[in-house]
Structure 1
Amino acid sequence: MSHKIHSTRRILLASLAFAVTGLTALQAQAQATKVLTLGSILSLTGPNASIGKEGVFGVEYAVKQVNAAGGVRIGADTYTLQNINIDDESKVERAVAAAERLVTSDKVPVVFTTPASTTTLAVLPTLEKNKTLGMSFVASAPAVISPELSYSFRSTLTSINNVNPSVDFLVKEKGIKTIAYLGRNDDWGRASGKAIVARANSLGAQVIVEEYFETGATDFSALLTKVRAANPDAVIGAAFIEDGVSLIKQYRELRLKPVFLTPSTIWSSPTFLKAAGKNAEGVYVATGSTTSDTPAIRAFSQQFEKVNGRKPLPFETTAYDSVMVVLEAMKKAGSTDPTLVRDALRKLEYKGVLQDYKFAGTNQSEVVINVNEIKDGQVKMISSLITR
């Protein structure tokens, strides 16, 4: 009888120990699966959709890779990630409504902002008011970074530091004296136009045509007729994919001869190259570091292709890096609190896939600027520099 009692007691103790161990494991698992929700307002429809779709895929790829590696350790907690993207339909009012929802309802600490500068500038006051980080990896208008917007950061190039090397190349390397500028009638297009005029004047060249078209335009005949009449040495066209394909097609149809350059990184994307076809041949494209060839970029491309069955598109890699920059700042801050992360970002130096990101006390990272030529359907880098 005594033997049975001791045996039963041992079984009960073992069961209790197992239960306690199991409970501890479940508690640890619960701690390990704390969720960090990110937010993004990236266009899936409308004239900014081509870039927006790349951005969403890049953010989601970063989320999946981090989760597959066991999450991210921030302070005392380990988080798995999720992202809530809201399609702004390439419209200002939709972007503002999306920002309101993300910060007030979803309570995200960071929002990856819209592809277009105009819509990004529209949402930044909402983010600032609610002390929520805004990270821009496409919008390049200078006003995205300003003293009044302490929570707004940018990991990519600005319209000025993209334009200046472009104009330098045309004037110094191609001997250009006169330029026609055709730009989107938005904050990016107008900021680029202003910078082009200033840089050209400083180098002794002149912008003799400066015209703007509405976002998503398809008929450029009137503008190109003005270009033909002015007979410039070069044309600079600031357009995305949807309007850019139409612009370069009609440019070729009119058999215009001036050198053509675009400050739009998206023209280096396989998406644009396929859509534009032979019309893109000979176009010069100013980009960020997405056209660089480094061991880090090659390794990322190989891993991405292994997972997704294709090579990454430019803004997919840019978006991936931007997520990692924010997560690194959160790790440095030991917190997801936007104010602490903001302060950590300003001190951050982070080696990403595309480049080294250094904010040096500002809200704008250093960037790599490449000037490239489209040749035989491929993007060939001509020159590169680092600037802020």
Structure 2
Amino acid sequence: MKFNMQRPLPIAAATVLFATMANHALADQTVKIGHVAPLTGQIAHLGKDNENGARLAVEEINKKGLVIGGQKITLVLDTQDDAADPRTATQVAQNLVDDHVVAIVGHLNSGTSIPASKIYSDAGIVQISPSATNPVLTQQGFKTTYRLVATDAQQGPALANYAAKNLGVKSVAIVDDATAYGQGLANEFEKSVKALGLTVVSHDATNDKAVDFRAILTKIKGENPDAIMYGGMDATGGPFAKQAKQLGLRAKMLAGDGLCTENLTDLAGAATDNVICSQAGLALEKMPAGKAFQQKYEARFHQPILIYAPFTYEAVYIIVDAMKRADSTDPAKILAKMPSTDYTGVLGETTFDSKGDLKHGVISLYNYKAGKKTLLDVVNM
């Protein structure tokens, strides 16, 4: 009897075909997460810090391996520059929608986050801002909008209370940079100090491109307030503080998180020793995994964390957590899981209220000692 030794071949061929099909089915699916911040302009250093945090998270997740719906996922950070400009922000927001990102980490500023939020809402894509503090962002009724920091409605009172109770301030001059962030924070601070019985001697506006503040400061010197509150970013707040010291103003300078950075010493020089500022989130040294994050960040980027990199890092992980719970990379299914977020990471536990704000906001207060940013107090809101 003659055996046909060729008969097993179809089985082998089928096995190869099946393996090829299986490998094809398990091939990487590329999933884009958008990130937006100012990468050019006066506050590009803050934007790059935010981008670095998000990039570190994406790199870590890819290294560990991510499987959603039985398919291996490779994350790609689709990063865009809004130059801290509201009009540019809406353009890059539409670019990200057109790029089919599944979620957005950004924007950095309130003035860019607010106009961009409608575009993300219309597209049904989750937006998590790591640093926008103007209350309006989450008061628009959009189901897509979230943030990982406390709001100016909490930051303003925290600054005002500290000034009144710890510094003994009785009178204050207020200056803002006329942006959604700076003006919003200044207005919340003004409401709070008036409620505490303090005198607001003046409220002036400059702009976020200004470099010379001597006219405003000379007027304020004549008003002789106990403190000056500046609503704006470090790029303008640093020179503002420096020029106040040069003009011999005795007043303490109060400011929010836009100014409260590690870069302030380079911008304000010795005037930092007169600054007290707030950050709308937990201090790095108080974060449960803050030290470990700091070591990873500095090893990867060879520079110190400026302020909100831990928050962008966490935002990426929160998006991926929603993706895992949905077992899908569909933006609509990711969005559906966001309200039930209960994620524990670098920042501690993150849960959101019905508007997309943190259920438990925290304000950290700092001063500068010999140019070094130093934690003063943590206020739970």
Please report the TM-score for the alignment, with normalisation by the length of structure 2: 0.91
Contact 2:171 2:200 in 1 (8 A): yes
Query: Against the structure 1 CA distance between its residues 14 and 311, is the aligned structure 2 distance closer, same or farther, given a 3 Å change threshold?
Result: farther
Q: Does 1:149 align with 2:146?
A: no
Q: Does 1:65 align with 2:86?
A: no
Residue number in structure 2 paired with 1:56: 51
Q: Which has the higher contact order (CA 8 A, sep 6+)?
A: 2
Residue number in structure 2 paired with 1:19: 16
Amino acid at match of 2:266: K
Q: Distance in 1 between matches of 2:287 and 2:91?
A: 40
- Select 1:274's aligned residue among 246, 259, 266: 266
Amino acid at match of 2:322: A
Aligned-pair identity (%): 25
Q: Distance in 2 between matches of 1:372 and 1:93?
A: 33
Contact 1:52 1:114 in 2 (8 A): no
Contact 2:34 2:79 in 1 (8 A): yes
- Select 2:74's aligned residue among 66, 73, 80: 80
Structure 1 stretch 355-364 or stretch 133-142: which is displaced more? Answer: 355-364
Query: Against the structure 1 CA distance between its residues 15 and 266, is the aligned structure 2 distance closer, same or farther, given a 3 Å change threshold?
Result: farther
Contact 1:35 1:81 in 2 (8 A): yes
Q: Distance in 1 between matches of 2:11 and 2:327?
A: 39
Q: Distance in 2 between matches of 1:66 and 1:157?
A: 27
Residue number in structure 2 paired with 1:190: 183
Q: Distance in 2 between matches of 1:351 and 1:188?
A: 28
Gaps spanning 5+ residues in structure 1: where?
A: none
Structure 1 stretch 61-70 or stretch 339-348: which is displaced more? Answer: 339-348
Q: Secondary structure at the match of 2:316?
A: helix
Amino acid at match of 1:45: T
Residue number in structure 2 paired with 1:117: 110
Mapping 1:298-377, distance limit 5 Å: 298-365=291-358, 366-377=360-371
Count residues in correspondence.
379
Residue number in structure 2 paired with 1:238: 231
Mapping 1:175-186, distance limit 5 Å: 175-186=168-179
Q: Does 1:100 align with 2:94?
A: yes
- Select 2:158's aligned residue among 156, 159, 165: 165
Contact 1:111 1:132 in 2 (8 A): yes
Amino acid at match of 1:262: A
- Select 1:90's aligned residue among 80, 84, 98: 84
Q: Distance in 2 between matches of 1:15 and 1:339?
A: 42
Q: How far off is 1:28 after superposition?
A: 5.2
Q: Secondary structure at the match of 1:157?
A: coil
Structure 1 stretch 43-52 or stretch 220-229: which is displaced more? Answer: 43-52
- Select 1:47's aligned residue among 42, 46, 53: 42
Pick the structure with more helix per residue.
1
Amino acid at match of 2:273: E
- Select 1:258's aligned residue among 242, 251, 262: 251
Q: How far off is 1:298 after superposition?
A: 0.7
Please report the TM-score for the alignment, with normalisation by the length of structure 1: 0.89
Q: Distance in 1 between matches of 2:324 and 2:102?
A: 14
Q: Secondary structure at the match of 2:293?
A: helix
Gaps spanning 5+ residues in structure 2: where?
A: none
